[in-house]
Structure 1
Amino acid sequence: MRLRVVAVGKPRLAYARLGVEEYAHRIRRYAPLEVQFVKEAKDLLPQAEGHRRVVLDERGRLFTTEGLLQELRRFEGERVAFLVGGAEGYPEGVRERAHLLLSLSPLTLQHELALLVLMEQLYRILTLRAGHPYHRP
């Protein structure tokens, strides 16, 4: 699985920026990863062209970590783009073109925090996929 994370706006909060950088470094040990930042939400879909699109949305499906790993196995061998909207959400058409709408929580998360949580979960999923005993129920 080749991963691309496309997010609106670079993280301004220091903890989010450093956390995204740290998890990107960790993820690259397990899978190819690109992290891209776009200025506006209308630029998300063009950056996900040719990829399976996973759109983060509070109305999406909730998974356990293991459940998300199983769901993403459907995309094994493919390019997968995770799209993270900004404070204004998504323009029309983004949700409709998703292969998966993913909710990280029933709570509304600030978009920089959602990006950081996504990166941590991708790392956790990839370590589980590699057979590491990382997950503790």
Structure 2
Amino acid sequence: MKLRICMIGKPKLEFARVGLEVYAGRLHRYTKLDLVHLKEGTQVQEGQRLLEASEGYRRVVLDERGQLVDTLAFKARLEAWEMGSEKGVAFLIGGAEGHAQAVRDRADWLLALSQLTLQHELALVVLLEQLYRVETLKKGEPYHR
């Protein structure tokens, strides 16, 4: 199943650039991963760009008000979509102002990585690490231990 991560802006912080490089590189061994960096703007403009970039995909909107799950539940949700022959899953990471309500309304799943509000570059690294962890679990590889 194809994974797409749509985020506002490009990582500017060094830790995020390195984390993105490390985990995106690892994920490419398991699945097709598209990283889509979108132009910053107003919350409404950013929301429209995120929705357009994720058209045709299951939408997972990262939001601190979303559902908190553990890694195994995250894996189960992704596997269920994969077994349902979905084209792919798009993870939407908003900008500094978060997501417009229109984006949350069009989500297939509102997912919280934490109850804390995470800076969007940090959220990207956490998401990539969890996606990699899920892939190693699916293959029975030792990273997840």
Same fold at TM > 0.5 = yes
1:135 matched to 2:144? The reply is yes
Paired amino acid for 2:51: L
1:100 matched to 2:106? The reply is no
Q: Distance in 2 between matches of 1:133 and 1:61?
A: 27
Q: Paired residue for 1:81? A: 90
Segments of 5+ residues of structure 1 without an aligned counterpart are none
Q: Distance in 1 between matches of 2:22 and 2:120?
A: 18
Shift of 1:87: 0.7
Q: Paired residue for 1:21? A: 21
Q: Which moved more, 1:73-82 or 1:110-119?
A: 73-82
TM-score (norm 2): 0.90
| Greater helix proportion | 2
Q: Distance in 1 between matches of 2:69 and 2:136?
A: 17
Q: Distance in 1 between matches of 2:11 and 2:132?
A: 19
Q: Distance in 1 between matches of 2:38 and 2:96?
A: 13
1:58 matched to 2:64? The reply is yes
- How many residue pairs align between the two structures? 136
Q: Paired residue for 1:124? A: 133
TM-score (norm 1): 0.95
Shift of 1:127: 0.9
Segments of 5+ residues of structure 2 without an aligned counterpart are 41-45
